[in-house]
Amino acid sequence: MHGTRAAYVKDRCRCTACTAANTAAGRAVHRAQTFGRWRPFVDAAPVREHVRALRAAGIGVEQIAMLAGISTSHVRELTGPGRDGHPGIQRVRPDTAHQVLRVRVDQANRAPRSHVVATGTRRRLQALIAVGWPHDELAARLGRRSAGLRRSMLSDSVTAQTAQDVSDLYEQLWNLRPPRSTVDQHAAADGARAFAAERGWLPPLAWDDIDTDPEPQNHAGRVEKDDDLDEIAIERALAGDGVRLEHLTPAEQKEVVRRLTERGKSIRDIAQQLATTKRTISRRRASINAA
């Protein structure tokens, strides 16, 4: 890479940028040696384990190399034993270790065509349909065919690109009402909600963490009614009697948040009282205001 000590040494580039980089690297080494902090190499084991974890999560060697700013061959050398039973790389430069270890296991770091677990993607699409966004409308906004999107909802895995696209769309739409200005739009929205209700699909506000929350028990086929309230449960929650938000039905959650808000409680206070996150309470409040 131009403007680095590696280019100065390996490529023998003597331009101003590479020369300056080599000089700065030399000064840093001299300073570290002077103060007894010179560590030319560190143990490669943590780096190797991190590379294996990244690969297991669907991030390929080429993608890791690009994100870390090192060569693909060097990443391959870090993945395991070498040829003829050689134990492989045992030590690496501190800078190399730092560059590899800073690569995070998340959707943004995955190659677009790599595959990820479809749970979050499926739940997001189901949640949008549950609040009235028609399947065909979601497919159109994603630039997908309806049949292709339906396959994604039925699959155990989807591409990282699909997961990211659905996540972006979900963030745009989860708290917006679908258009209902025409007869066709009104019918499509009602049809989407009915379709989701028959299958027990949960709306956005039913999830604290849509990617990792466990599947709800005995929910399939259940349609939550607006007046499905247990006053005893609500009063215990209002009194701070150890009732967590997750112990309440969606309708009860909304009612408790509404009443606590009317009592002047802040989002932080409500979240603390109901043992949940501020983001969750914020979403419940948004749902109440949109109703």
Tokens for 14, please give them: 């003597």
Answer with the one of 206, 241, 268 that is the final residue of a domain: 206
In single-letter form, the type of residue at position 90 comes to: Q
Structural domain boundaries, residue 248: 231-290
For 109-137, write each residue's pLDDT tens digit: 677 777 778 889 999 999 999 999 999 99
For 30-56, write each residue's pLDDT tens digit: 776 666 665 667 888 888 888 888 877
Is there a single domain that holds both residue 29 and residue 60? no
Strand, coil or helix: 22: helix
Average pLDDT, the chain: 81
Is there a single domain that holds both residue 77 and residue 160? no
Query: Is residue 222 very low, low, confident or very high in pLDDT (cuts 50, 70, 90)?
Result: very low
In a domain, 11, yes or no: yes
CB 260 within 8 A of CB 276: no
Residue 284 vs residue 124, higher pLDDT:
124
Tokens for 244, please give them: 């967590």
Is there a single domain that holds both residue 83 and residue 145? no
In a domain, 221, yes or no: no
- Per-residue pLDDT at 217: 59
Is there a single domain that holds both residue 99 and residue 140? no
Query: What average pLDDT does this structure show over 188-194?
Result: 88
In a domain, 241, yes or no: yes
Bridge-based pairing of strands 115-117 and 91-92 is unpaired
For 228-281, write each residue's pLDDT tens digit: 567 777 888 898 877 788 777 788 888 999 999 999 999 999 999 998 889 889
Helix axes 45-56, 61-68, angle to 10 degrees: 120
Is there a single domain that holds both residue 68 and residue 101? yes
Strand, coil or helix: 159: strand
- Per-residue pLDDT at 226: 43
Is there a single domain that holds both residue 124 and residue 190? yes
Is there a single domain that holds both residue 58 and residue 81? yes
What distance in Å separates the CA atoms of residue 234 and residue 255, rounded to the nearest whole number?
A: 8
In single-letter form, the type of residue at position 62 comes to: E
CB 166 within 8 A of CB 160: no
In a domain, 214, yes or no: no
Domain count, the chain: 4
Query: What average pLDDT does this structure show over 141-146?
Result: 92
What distance in Å separates the CA atoms of residue 274 and residue 242, rounded to the nearest whole number?
A: 8
For the entire predicted model, the pTM comes to: 0.48
What distance in Å separates the CA atoms of residue 170 and residue 67, rounded to the nearest whole number?
A: 27
Phi-psi region of 85 (alpha: psi -120 to 50; beta: other; left: phi over 0): left
